[in-house]
Amino acid sequence: MRVSHGTTYRGRLAPSPTGLLHLGHARTFWTAQTRASEQGGALVLRNEDLDRQRCKPEFVCAMLEDLRWFGFHWTEGPDVGGPHAPYTQSERMSLYRAAFEQLRAGGSLFSCTCSRQDVLRALQAPHQGEDEPVYPGTCRKHVSGCEPPAPNAKPSWRFRVPDGRTIHFEDGRLGPQTFLAGVDFGDFVVWRNDDLPAYQLACVVDDAAMGITEVVRGADLLASTARQLLLYEALGLPVPAFFHCPLMTDERGVRLAKRHDALSLRALRERGLSPAKLREPPG
Ligand code: GLU
């Protein structure tokens, strides 16, 4: 596995405009921004809008406005441009397709005609409680990646995980992490049957293409990081460092989600709360 040893820190904020950003997103992003500025590095804003059904232009506008209100300053992004433009995923399809073709040609994928929930959900990062069950291997017999799809069924494509392999990585906050392929997660979707890349693939392609040296994200994505490490390896891409932030929960211990409207940045702003007060977790 190639590990990037770039001297210039490059971090990223990767929101999905599927609703209003809330305080949980903002706190994770704040850690990303703080780590980038402590290192004198760059901060990239990437608009992760692959889920065309749920991503709306009005959420993109609200996202940019709310992030600026909170105090974010990105050096590259969809609104300011930069050397790795475009910074909006729906405009980067050719890169994802090239990576998909590379994986397929390398024999890492199999086509799958199972119509399962995890295919439907693959456009989004699997946040807490949304992780897919281990794939039971129904279509795994297609190992070559070259077989024709079953008649009348458009396939999705799954990454064939090396069962029993241990994936280790060092998290910048949590220390050593270990996941077992085939047990902690199974063959995951990288390309959907409606011809869209899955979150796992798009994220790896973009983090590598944009020269990201450290990925800061919520701790609920630890198992996604393990999956992504397999994609970095199969694609021969340099691996960034990882830092997984604690999740912000509501009073019942449930992770904040876009449905927690009262804690959207917009609602907090309308209630007159100051960004400076909101940035740091209480206590
Ligand atoms: N767009 C993804 C999300 O909002 C990004 C997750 C990640 O940091 O990789 O959940």
Query: Which domains, ranges and CATH numbers included, belong to the chain?
Result: 2-278 (3.40.50.620)
Among 2-16, 35-49, 155-169, where is mean pLDDT lowest? 2-16
Amino acid residing at 23:
L
Averaged pLDDT, 1-12: 71
Between the CA of 64 and the centroid of ligand 1 the distance, in Å, is 16
**Is residue 282 very low, low, confident or very high in pLDDT (cuts 50, 70, 90)?**
low
- Work out the angle at residue 115's Cα, subtended by the Cα atoms of residues 53 and 117, and round it to the nearest 5 degrees: 60
167 by DSSP, 3-state: which? strand
Q: What percent of the chain has pLDDT over 70?
A: 92
Q: Is the CB of 48 under 6 A from ligand 1?
A: yes
pLDDT > 80? residue 70: yes
Q: Is the CB of 125 under 6 A from ligand 1?
A: yes
Query: Using CA atoms, how far apart are residues 251 and 237, in angstroms rounded to an integer?
Result: 41
- Contact partners, residue 217, CB within 8 Å, separation at least 6: 14, 28, 125, 225, 242, 243, 244, 245
Averaged pLDDT, 162-167: 97
pTM comes to: 0.92
Between the CA of 254 and the centroid of ligand 1 the distance, in Å, is 18
Find the helix or strand (DSSP H, E) in which 44 lies. Answer: strand 42-45
Between the CA of 150 and the centroid of ligand 1 the distance, in Å, is 33
pLDDT > 80? residue 1: no
Higher pLDDT pick, 150 / 101: 101
DSSP secondary structure of 220-233: GGHHHHHHHHHHHH
| pLDDT score of 140 | 86
Between the CA of 258 and the centroid of ligand 1 the distance, in Å, is 13
**Is residue 146 very low, low, confident or very high in pLDDT (cuts 50, 70, 90)?**
very low
Higher pLDDT pick, 88 / 6: 88
pLDDT in tens, 13-29: 999 999 999 999 999 99
**Is residue 156 very low, low, confident or very high in pLDDT (cuts 50, 70, 90)?**
very high
The residue among 252, 59, 218, 10 whose CA lies nearest residue 128 is 218
Cis peptide before 86 (omega within 30 of 0): yes
Higher pLDDT pick, 191 / 248: 191
| pLDDT score of 114 | 87
Which among 29, 92, 207, 217 is the best mutation to test ligand 1's pocket, defined by most ligand atoms within 8 Å of the CB?
Answer: 217
Query: Using CA atoms, how far apart are residues 219 and 19, in angstroms rounded to an integer?
Result: 21
Q: What is the mean pLDDT of the chain?
A: 91
Q: How many CB atoms lie within 10 A of CB 91?
A: 13
Averaged pLDDT, 240-260: 82
Averaged pLDDT, 69-96: 98
The residue among 127, 132, 118, 124 whose CA lies nearest residue 50 is 124
User: Which atom of ligand 1 sits closest to the CA of residue 28?
Assistant: 8
pLDDT > 50? residue 145: no
- Work out the angle at residue 131's Cα, subtended by the Cα atoms of residues 226 and 266, and round it to the nearest 5 degrees: 105
Q: What percent of the chain has pLDDT over 90?
A: 77
Averaged pLDDT, 164-185: 98
Higher pLDDT pick, 171 / 117: 171
